[in-house]
Amino acid sequence: MEIQSIKNRFGLIGNSPALNYALQVAVQVSGTELTVLISGESGVGKEAFSQIIHALSARKHNPFIAVNCGAIPEGTIDSELFGHEKGSFTGAVDSRKGYFETVSGGTIFLDEIGELPLGTQARLLRVLEAGEFIRVGSSKVQKTDVRVIAASNKDLLDLTEKGKFREDLYYRLSTVPIRVPSLRDRKEDIPLLFRKFAVDFAERYKTAPVQLDEEAKNLLINYPWPGNVRELKNIAEQISVLSEDKQVTAAALRRFVPETSGNRLPMVVPSNGVSSNNSHEFSNEREILYKLFFDMKKDVTELKKMFVEILQNPVLASTQHASFINDLKELKPVESFQPTPLSSGQPVMIHNNNNHEEIHHHEEVEESLNIMDKEKELIVKALKKHKGKRKDAASDLGISERTLYRKLKEYDINE
């Protein structure tokens, strides 16, 4: 089935490559019985993908149920999923079938699966491996034929390293992983989505659909959308109901779009950038690299300003910056100093000034974007800082000691 026809059937809007790829994987896996793990931020539409997989599968005429694991109390989650016998706990006045019993032959969608208690995870693993479960308070093993589609807005692999999610269950669930892109990763779809929502709400409230001018459209595209499609839909509804002018300007749009800092970093740090124990806290390894790159960008900006001053007034600049140049030469020869460029594809001009008075030559240095080299360099610095203590170095880097050990082997780092 073509991707476009699937979008039309299930009301999906957008043409970004990331969205199309996720849909293609969903279509290919729908005809199998494989377990699927859908990942993505809150509000990206993970449940819609589960419905697509079920609707295109051989189970499409059988039951489909979506269960939000985070919304069920820990004390009752086992009863909800697997059922219970009469008298098995206080309030169990009757026997009750669980979802895995009532939906047998169909598909069960387990949203926010990272919220499952460890005991329930063990029960679920048994269902996935053998198709068997036991009701709460019973000793009788029962069979079930259910296809499981799971979803999470958290990094389950990171939860396994913290001991909050079973590693064997993670690998059993992620037979086929599908990553649903965030709205920030498909900016070209934002105007299309807003227009669709505006038309829908105009029909619902019997009004003319609102339209955005170019400035307002750019504001909408550049907003980070932490709530993704769900947040965009809510804002479109607010504007449709509350906006007096159907031609929305950027100034009018700002009344509905929450204020954010102009520089949204893809990481989470305390407001002062330093944690309570004077070390940076990162939620994963990618954020370490982002922090490094942004720090390098700041340093390179200062260096470029200084080099421009030297070019414009070599004699005065050499007097003002003589100490800086001497320090720089002690650390590394000027000819070999290669700061990271500010943006992709933009080479940095490195000037060779041997006499500190006149600049006769410059050369263009290709930018280095090797993430592995930067990660290795950061790990080596952390180990030196903590005198080879892996536990302290891992804590400072914001990763687990197990991950650090794996990185040491991967990069062949001798402590």
Q: pLDDT (tens digit, 0 to 9) for every residue of the chain, 415 residues total? A: 588 899 999 989 999 999 999 999 999 999 999 999 999 999 999 999 999 999 999 999 999 999 999 999 988 999 999 999 988 888 888 899 999 999 999 999 999 999 999 999 999 999 999 999 999 999 999 999 999 999 999 999 999 999 999 999 999 999 999 999 999 999 999 999 999 999 999 999 999 999 999 999 999 999 999 999 999 999 999 999 998 889 999 999 999 998 764 444 444 444 444 444 443 344 445 556 655 666 676 677 767 766 666 666 655 445 555 555 555 555 544 444 444 444 444 444 444 444 444 444 445 445 555 677 778 888 888 888 888 888 888 888 888 887 887 788 777 787 6
Q: Tell me the C-alpha distance between 370 and 83, whole Å.
A: 52
Q: Do domains 3-179 and 371-410 have the same CATH topology?
A: no
- Residue 394, classified by CB atoms within 10 Å of its CB into exposed (0-12), middle (13-18) or buried (19+), is buried
Phi and psi at residue 185, in whole multiples of 5°? -90, 0
**Residues 6 or more apart from 90 whose CB is under 8 A from it?**
none
Domain positions in the chain are 3-179, 184-253, 285-365, 371-410
The model carries a pTM of 0.61
Domain covering 184-253, topology: Helicase, Ruva Protein; domain 3 (1.10.8)
Q: Tell me the C-alpha distance between 247 and 216, whole Å.
A: 10
Q: Which residues pair with 151 in a beta bridge?
A: 38
Question: What would the CATH number be for the domain defined by 3-179?
Answer: 3.40.50.300
**Residues 6 or more apart from 220 whose CB is under 8 A from it?**
190, 191, 194, 212, 253, 257
- Complete DSSP assignment for 248-279: E-HHHHTTTSPP--SS--SS---TTS--TTSS
Q: Note whether 99 and 69 are within 8 A (CB).
A: no
CATH of 371-410, picked from 1.10.10, 1.10.3720, 1.10.150, 1.10.3470, is 1.10.10
